[in-house]
A and B are shown apart, each in its own frame.
Chain A
Amino acid sequence: MSNNTDYVLELENVSKSFPGVQALKDVSLKVRKGTVHALMGENGAGKSTLMKIVVGVYTADPGGTIKIDGEPANYKNIGASIKHGVSMIFQELNPIPYMTVAENIYLNREPHKGLFVDFKQMIADTQALFDSLGIDNIKPTEKVYELTVAKKQMVEIAKAISYNSKLIIMDEPTSAITDKEVDHLFKMVRTLKKEKNVAFIFITHKMDEVFQITDEITVLRDGQYVGTDLASNSSRDKLIAWMVGREITQMFPKEEAEIGDVIMSCRGLTRNGVFKDVSFDLRKGEILGFAGLMGAGRTEVMEAIFGYTKLDAGEVYIHGKKVNITMPRDALKYHMALLTEDRKGTGCFLPLSIRDNMTVASVGDYTKGGFIRKKAMEKVCLEQKEKLAIKTPSMNQLIKNLSGGNQQKVLVARWLMTNPEILIVDEPTRGIDVGAKAEIHRLLSMMAKEGRAIIMISSELPEVMGMSDRIMVMHEGKITGEVSRKDANQTLIMQFATNTYVS
Chain B
Amino acid sequence: MARNDSAEAVKKSSKEVWSDIFNKYGIIIILFLIAALMSVATGGMFLKPINLMNVVRQISFIGLIGVGVTIIIITTGIDLSSGSVLALASVAAATFAHPAKDAAGQYIDAVGQYPLIVPVLVGLAVATLAGVINGLIIAYFELPPFIVTLGMMTAARGAAFLVTGGKPIGDFSDSFNFLGAGFVLGIPMPILLLIVMTIFSYIILNRTKFGRHIYALGGNEQAAIISGVNVKLIKIVVYGYASMLAGLAGISLAARIESGQPSAGLSFELDAIAAAVIGGTSQSTGGIGTVQGTIVGALIIGVINNGMTLMGVNSYWQQVVKAIIIVGAVLLDKKRRKS
Contacts and interface: CB of A to CB of B under 8 A. Distances in A.
Given A371-B207, A372-B209, A361 B288 contact: no
A331 B224 CA distance: 14
A360 B212 CA distance: 7
A332 interface: yes
Interface string A324-341: 000111011000001010
A364 B230 CA distance: 13
A367 B209 contact: yes
Contact of B230 (A329, A340, A347, A361): A329
Interface string A68-83: 0000000000000000
A351 B287 CA distance: 6
B207 A351 contact: no
B213 A360 contact: yes
B208 A371 contact: yes
A414 B220 CA distance: 15
Contact of A346 (B216, B222, B339): B222
A266 interface: no
A414 B212 CA distance: 14
A306 B229 CA distance: 14
Contacts of A329: 228-230
Given A19-B16, A345-B222, A349-B220, A361 B228 contact: yes
B334 to A, nearest CB: 14
A356 B219 contact: yes
Interface string A352-372: 100010011101100100111
Interface in B212-246: 212-213, 215-216, 218-220, 222-230
Nearest to A340: B226
Given A351-B287, A363-B212, A367-B208, A306 B226 contact: yes
Contact of A351 (B203, B212, B228, B288): B288
B227 A414 contact: yes
A350 interface: yes
B216 A328 contact: no
Contacts of A332: 228
Interface string B182-220: 000000000000000000000100011100110110111
A7 B286 CA distance: 46
Interface residues of A, number: 31
Tell me which of A308, A329, A374 has the highest count of chain B C-beta atoms within 10 A of its own C-beta: A329
A348 B220 contact: yes
Nearest to B229: A360
A372 B208 contact: yes
A contact face: mostly helix, strand, loop, or mixed: mixed
A347 B288 contact: no
Contacts of A371: 203, 207-208
Contacts of A374: 207
Contact of A372 (B212, B282, B285, B287): B212
Given A347-B223, A349-B223, A349-B287, A363 B230 contact: no
Tell me which of B220, B222, B227, B339 has the highest count of chain A C-beta atoms within 10 A of its own C-beta: B227
A338 B230 CA distance: 16
Contacts of A370: 208
Contacts of A350: 219-220
Nearest to A346: B222
Nearest to A418: B228
A349 B209 contact: no
B227 A361 contact: yes
A332 B226 CA distance: 9
Interface residues of B, number: 28
Contacts of A345: 220, 222-223
B206 to A, nearest CB: 8
A345 B223 CA distance: 7
Contact of A349 (B16, B207, B208, B216): B216
A352 B229 CA distance: 15
A370 B288 CA distance: 23
Given A350-B219, A360-B213, A327 B225 contact: yes
Nearest to A303: B226
Contacts of B219: 349-352, 356
A345 B224 CA distance: 11
Contacts of B19: 19
A348 B285 contact: no
Tell me which of A306, A338, A351 has the highest count of chain B C-beta atoms within 10 A of its own C-beta: A351
A392 to B, nearest CB: 18
B209 A364 contact: yes
A328 B286 contact: no
Tell me which of A352, A367, A371 has the highest count of chain B C-beta atoms within 10 A of its own C-beta: A352
Interface string A1-35: 00000000000000000011000000000000000
Contacts of A331: 228
Interface string B143-187: 000000000000000000000000000000000000000000000
A349 B230 CA distance: 16
Nearest to A372: B207
Nearest to B225: A328
A356 B219 CA distance: 10
Given A351-B219, A372-B212, A346 B285 contact: no
Contacts of B228: 328-329, 331-332, 361
Interface string A288-329: 000000000000000000101000000000000000000111
Given A329-B230, A360-B212, A346 B223 contact: yes
Interface of B: 16, 19, 203, 207-209, 212-213, 215-216, 218-220, 222-230, 282, 285-288, 339
Top 7 closest A-B pairs, CB basis? A349-B219, A332-B228, A351-B287, A361-B227, A346-B222, A352-B219, A329-B228
Interface of A: 19-20, 306, 308, 327-329, 331-332, 338, 340, 345-352, 356, 359-361, 363-364, 367, 370-372, 374, 414
Given A346-B223, A370-B208, 13 more contacts: A306-B226, A328-B227, A349-B215, A349-B223, A350-B219, A352-B216, A356-B215, A356-B219, A360-B213, A360-B229, A361-B227, A361-B228, A372-B208
7 contacts: A19-B339, A332-B228, A346-B223, A349-B216, A356-B215, A360-B213, A360-B227
